[in-house]
Amino acid sequence: MSVKRVLIVEDELAIREMMKFAFHKSEFNLQEAEDAEQAQVFIKDNRPDLILLDWMLPGMSGLELAKRLKTDPDSKDIPIIMLTARGDENDRIRGLDCGADDYVVKPFSPRELLARIKAVLRRVDPAMDDTIEVGGIKLDNSTHRVSIADKTLEFGPTEYKLLHFFMTHPERVYNRSQLLDRVWGGNVYIEERTVDVHIRRLRKVLAEHKAEHLIQTVRGAGYRFSTQP
């Protein structure tokens, strides 16, 4: 699976440095922003998998940014962990009210924060689990093994990533540009018809196991992984 990208929005350099050090040996890739404005630009170009958001920022507050991100359809699914110096119950409620998924009170240990990140990611994204089974397909993310009725399917790396994405986001339609963004990652410039090429290859392998019906073309909209006809 691709490395999870975590964006930290924090004006205090010492905390960013501490996190950089802690993340260095973790399975996450850490990106940084110093304030809400920088964070907004960054998120548009480079969708993170999770945001660590400091409450007290110069300019727009972390709370305000969380509210905006959670009401924007493009970013509302990105989980947010608020970093706060306030332990006050009311503030805690306000933080979770604005849509944050969790919060951590400063000072925190990087180890504690990493554990909270994993817990939040696992909650919002079942893809963090090692094995997924949908529509008779079994996908083991630790070995990258895909099988149907105990028979192994052979895929190229892109088809694997595509299938993994579909299986963890079933019953929803994605257009080509969304698939490029979520499967290939932001900042890559690939023609949209590349998506069709890989969908075709994926279907071909699935067809050998009579499972091609799981990848559906939705006319004028895109593709959907569905166990329903």
Interface residues toward Ca ion, by CB under 5 A: 11, 54, 56
Q: How many CA atoms lie within 13 A of 165 on its CB side?
A: 23
Q: Is the peptide bond before 107 cis (omega within 30 degrees of 0)?
A: yes
Compare residues 65 and 179 and give the one whose CB is closer to Ca ion: 65
Compare residues 95 and 222 and give the one whose CB is closer to Ca ion: 95
Contact in structure between 78 and 43 (CB atoms under 8 Å): yes
* Residue nearest Ca ion, Cβ-based: 56
> Least distance from C-beta 57 to Ca ion, angstroms?
6
Contact in structure between 1 and 164 (CB atoms under 8 Å): yes
> Least distance from C-beta 12 to Ca ion, angstroms?
5
Contact in structure between 55 and 61 (CB atoms under 8 Å): yes
Compare residues 10 and 49 and give the one whose CB is closer to Ca ion: 10
Compare residues 36 and 114 and give the one whose CB is closer to Ca ion: 36
> Least distance from C-beta 55 to Ca ion, angstroms?
7
How far, in Å, CA of 224 to CA of 172, rounded?
6
> Least distance from C-beta 89 to Ca ion, angstroms?
21
